Structure 1
């Protein structure tokens, strides 16, 4: 049974990746003249994307993922029981109510009885067809029933919500789906909440209609569209780079430029992380890749294991802010702010360089303080190796040029993916077997599943905040607590972001903080003399940056866990050392928004407000002082003169 499901998962995953790749070229093919809804309509494409996430999520859980503990899932199960009871009170037929109970039992009861989790995954995979097929058949009329849905609309919405929450629980744990349920129940029972956070209390049928029937909200909204339009193409690109044997080439090139200094292990992992970050945009994946390749180097020189793991965890998370392929948050920003992706690339350059400087400085100072020996490695790699394989960077240059010239991101990244495949099979020295290409196509969408499920959940949360007006209420509270002080408001928001990031992925952290705190931060920035457009950009980059920092901030730090799994260290202690390594990274983000001079690190806000030499001087001075601050802070953290 397991082997059959494993093979079925592979086939569906490959078909899913090929479907998304075909969507890019579809408008230029003869099939475009036939107006196939699955290929031409955004609403159906998003529904298909969500369907594939649910279907593959349950299948993957069956073949790969062990049942989770019931302790963390108990609050989620209890809240979904309340949700089900409210649904059973609706004026629908008894058969529909029985079906709703069955859906709950198959998706949520296994949380309380782990032995049921594996068989329930097959049922979940089969049930995921129902809401998708229903939407495909009825999409033309569903949009008109978003406020007053029909009984079948409501049962399909109820089913889709529980199926998605079940997938998220299986892939990422209980915290994210629990947060979704908190927001959903808040909308239902907000009339019982006292004070400013009180709401009228919304009918469940209206909420179910909004979540399932609307095209720009709920489950299939614009944030979910980010996963469809952008993220799948970058995870596929990253999988192709790895499976086409380019990962080792990139690592060898990094080693070529670091020499035999005692600091070489730290230097090499920094360069590897930056180079791989250009392709993947995945922090935990980059951390594991870098850790695997550099662990022997750290051991040869004699680094403390926790320091080495902390350095690796910190450099791994740099993938999120390394242009041109950054983390998923950057594409959410494109949608929310309606700005070109190239603008985000420009704004990410400064923070990325300062972040990297902090890591490199810490590494160099640590090595000198500990008086570590030279790195003794035997390798035949020389500069001719770089010349032989420098073509590996052509797709990245291609991406930068195409984005600069205004081409869509999905077309650009798809073309770069095909370039990598072409180069791999054209070069006999690395030519992979055909099976590697199949694995790359499989991993393209499989690697997306935890991210995509979190994106869908974030879209659900955002929709419920819009319905309840919670964002405006939270902004009022933040303004009152901070006393209209931008310093206090940013500190509170930064801490809130780090705490939130302990339980949810960076993309969900950004979506929540941008909805709840961005209006207040932006308003205070404008009051402090930052132009409106600059304040908007700086606010969201600040939230972006702190959402990323949660990856390396204990006690829950995914990059730290990835590094510790390879280095054999305690994950909590690794997280503490990751937070210490390049400590200035926590101050860099705060400076974006405190004053107009702070926005110079982002470059673009200054270029929009100033021109010529004035802008250049303004940016140069800010970078000079920021570089000095990073160096001096690391001297203190390492205790170099002690």
Structure 2
């Protein structure tokens, strides 16, 4: 048995050494703007970024006017940047110009008729209200198609169809039906497109994306990567551990798993391949770390802003509750890649190829904006003020070195980059608003709540599994923020109705909305990373699923042990539960990777480790004892394998 296991490890190493695939460039679907159009785009983007900063801090506007202007900026910039079809994609088509003018008119129409629209939209609309609403909905869906593909537009289409087909459907799906006039004006009102999702996008998300752009232009983002390489680059499988650290931090700020996988993966994936990871494993590691960034406080990819708004709690409560589960996730991913490195006998990069600590220390001032931001958020300052101070402090921090200094030109580029990176999120969040509006109008969310309640009457665990699957399915193919917004409308109310604490319920669906980005068959982050690595997208998705396995179990951990969300008044309880949870994710990683106690683990040992990990989910001394016994037995088996192997070599 030992000889067979050793041969398997050797064959894995040989397969790794033979597997070398050239890196492929990921083709962008953006136009390459040039000439006067390039300057027009720059001007609109800079004005848009400054408009948001000024209005949020100094000149408040009516919420509907502000949200509609926010949307118009996204539509205009998106239609300029993203072509609708492939031929002559760098030339802006006459149809795009027409759509741009219509988008601007929609914003003007809302501004000019605000007082009347507040009372008649969705109730007694005029013909022009209907035309404006239909045009707005179609342009939003078209821009979402251009920026994010067909998945979300198709899902929105399904919900729109449901609004009309409801009278003909059986059972809990049936509803009375609605006229076109009422439906489109309701959806294009404050309960749909311009509801809570676009409210959070206009107030918080765009501000933090601009903050992330300033970090990028001021080289703070690169500084994170340099620090990660200096600390972890020399460890076994170092570049993969760097990917976990840097991609987690960058993913936390930019709000899109797939985009982050491409941005940081272009650096980390080739390095992972150089030290011996297969292209598929390298891409999966990057995708898993990028998705995990959405779970990492204090920004959590902007999803936390929506959660705080929906729950009506302080933002600091959300980030405090998210801290331990995020640590569990990244600890699990770390052990996954460490076991992979052990199995393959890999080493890290040589010290002469890594950034020097003294150079890192000289630029330590670059991390001050992040420290300042976290300090302000934890101490209860408003999200808007904290984000604005973060932007200004990034600008100031850049002035301390000539290599990072941001003048007028770089500042304008940072403002432009912030609005450019906001386009996709504005589009998908507006489309998510369409879906949320249909859910509110038809009451289908409450019907799902009733279904969950019926399931929970017989088995709460079964209800949670159903909620998990539904959250993942609703989130597949969508950016994290939109995925959570929809899951929060459909699934979370049902969990709350069956008696689960609102914070636990929303954190539960948030986790599964996030990891839908690495869940086959539609795993956007995995597909994006596979393009960088030049490997099969579906196989990469399944490897990502394995690496992120802890994320599928952690929500059940904090349901059965809410102390993980720091809800307990006793610090000792939180510490004990955290320790057992850390042991659990370690055992889970060992079971998934088939490596325990310095040797390859067979299916018997892996099964024992998996059961032990699951046993540690619930706070129960008997189950903890069972887990301890299983680990000791598994350790003895592994020791015996290693002992026999040593005797064979000696013989």
* Fold-level similarity (TM above 0.5): yes
Question: Out of 598, 620, 626, which is 2:581 matched to?
Answer: 626
Per-residue deviation, 1:296: 4.2
- The answer as to 2:477 corresponding to 1:445 is no
CA deviations over 1:207-254 (Å, ceiling 9, x no partner): 233234x4x312222221110000001111111111222222221111
Kept in 2, the 8 Å contact 1:554–1:579? The answer is yes
Which residue does 2:449 correspond to in 1? 475
Match of 2:533 among 545, 567, 581: 567
What CA distance in whole angstroms lies between the structure 1 residues aligned with 2:157 and 2:385? 36
Aligned pairs for 1:484-499 within 5 A: 484-499=458-473
1:86-235 to structure 2, matched below 5 A, reads 118-146=93-121, 147-212=123-188, 214=189, 216-235=190-209
Does residue 265 of the first structure (1) align with residue 239 of the second (2)? yes
Taking the aligned partners of 2:117 and 2:134, their CA distance within structure 1 comes to 15
What residue number does 1:42 align with?
63
| 1:232-631 equivalences in 2 (<5 Å) | 232-258=206-232, 260-277=234-251, 279-379=253-353, 381-432=355-406, 434-481=408-455, 483-526=457-500, 535-593=501-559, 595=560, 598-603=561-566, 605-606=567-568, 611=569, 615-631=570-586
Contact 1:278 1:396 in 2 (8 A): no
RMSD: 2.4
The corresponding residue for 1:56 is: 77
Change (3 A) 1:280 1:513: closer
> What whole-Å deviation, never above 9, does each CA across 1:150-186 have from its counterpart, x for those lacking one?
1221111121111211211221122212222322232
SS across alignment from 1:218: coil
Cα distance 1:282–1:388, how it changes in 2: closer, same or farther (>3 A)? farther
Alpha-carbon distance in 2 for matches of 1:278, 1:201: 41
Other structure's SS at 2:113 match: helix
**Aligned in 2, Cα 1:282/1:47: closer, same or farther, shift over 3 Å?**
same
Counterpart contact for 1:475–1:517, Cα < 8 Å: yes
Q: Secondary structure at the match of 2:350?
A: coil
Deviation digits for residues 329-385 of structure 1 (CA, Å, limit 9, x no counterpart): 211111111011111110111111001101111111111121124532524733322
Say if 2:477 and 2:517, in contact at 8 Å, map to a contact too.
Answer: no
- Does the Cα contact within 8 Å between 2:252 and 2:294 map onto a contact in 1? no
> Contact 1:67–1:115 (CA<8 Å) still a contact in 2?
no
Answer with 255-264 or 448-457: which moved more: 255-264
Identify the residue that residue 17 of structure 1 maps to in structure 2: 49
Q: Distance in 1 between matches of 2:42 and 2:305?
A: 28
Q: Is the 8 A contact 2:238 2:347 kept in 1?
A: no
CA contact (8 A) 1:13 1:442 kept: yes
In the alignment, the residues of structure 2 paired with residue 250 and residue 182 of structure 1 have an alpha-carbon distance, to the nearest angstrom, of 42
| Cα distance in structure 2, aligned partners of 1:475 and 1:275 | 35
Taking structure 1 as reference, are residues 259 and 195 closer, same or farther at Cα in structure 2, changes over 3 Å only? closer
Q: How many residues align?
A: 564
**Rounded Cα–Cα distance in structure 2 between residues aligned with 1:120 and 1:51:** 17
- Residues in 1 aligned to 2:313 and 2:575: alpha-carbon distance in whole angstroms: 25
Distance in 2 between the 1:381 and 1:2 partners? Answer: 37
Q: In the TM superposition, what is the alpha-carbon distance from 1:433 to its structure 2 partner?
A: 6.1
Q: Deviations over 1:241-286 (max 9, x none)?
A: 1122222222111111125232312222222123334543442333
Distance 1:307-1:622 versus aligned 2 partners, 3 A rule:
same
1:105 — aligned with what?
none
CA–CA distance in structure 1, aligned partners of residues 444 and 355 of structure 2: 58
Q: Helix, strand or coil: the match of 1:40?
A: coil
Which of residues 37, 41, 48 is equivalent to 1:5? 37
Paired residues of 2:480 and 2:514 also in contact (CA < 8 A): yes
Q: What stretches of structure 1 of length at least 5 have no aligned partner?
A: 28-38, 69-113, 527-534
In the TM superposition, residue 66 of structure 1 has moved relative to its aligned partner by 4.9
TM-score by length of 1: 0.83
User: 1:280/1:179 Cα in 2 relative to 1: closer, same or farther (>3 Å)?
Assistant: closer
Specify the SS of the correspondent of 1:431. coil
2:30 alignment partner in structure 1: none
Per the TM alignment, residue 115 of structure 1 is displaced from its structure 2 partner at its CA by: 13
Deviations 1:463-484 (A, max 9, x none): 2211111111122223334554
Q: Secondary structure of the equivalent of 1:584?
A: helix
Judging changes above 3 Å, is the alpha-carbon distance between structure 1 residues 484 and 336 closer, same or farther for their aligned structure 2 residues? farther
What is the alpha-carbon distance in structure 2 between the residues aligned to residue 369 and residue 380 of structure 1? 24
- In the aligned structure 2, how far is the partner of 1:319 from the partner of 1:310? 14
- Flag the 1:299–1:210 CA change in 2: closer, same or farther, 3 A: closer
> Matches of 1:582 and 1:227 in 2, distance apart?
28
- Deviation readout 1:9-51 (Å, 9 max, x if unpaired): 2221121111111113324xxxxxxxxxxx5221211110111
Using the TM superposition, name which of 180-189 and 391-400 deviates more: 180-189
Please state how far the C-alpha of 1:504 moved relative to its aligned partner: 2.5
Asked if structure 2 preserves the Cα contact closer than 8 Å seen for 1:462 and 1:512, the reply is yes
Structure 2 CA distance for partners of 1:184 and 1:416, relative to 1, 3 Å: same
Consecutive unaligned residues in structure 2, runs of 5 or more = 1-32, 602-651
Please say if residues 283 and 317 of structure 1, whose CA atoms lie closer than 8 Å, have aligned partners that are also in contact: yes
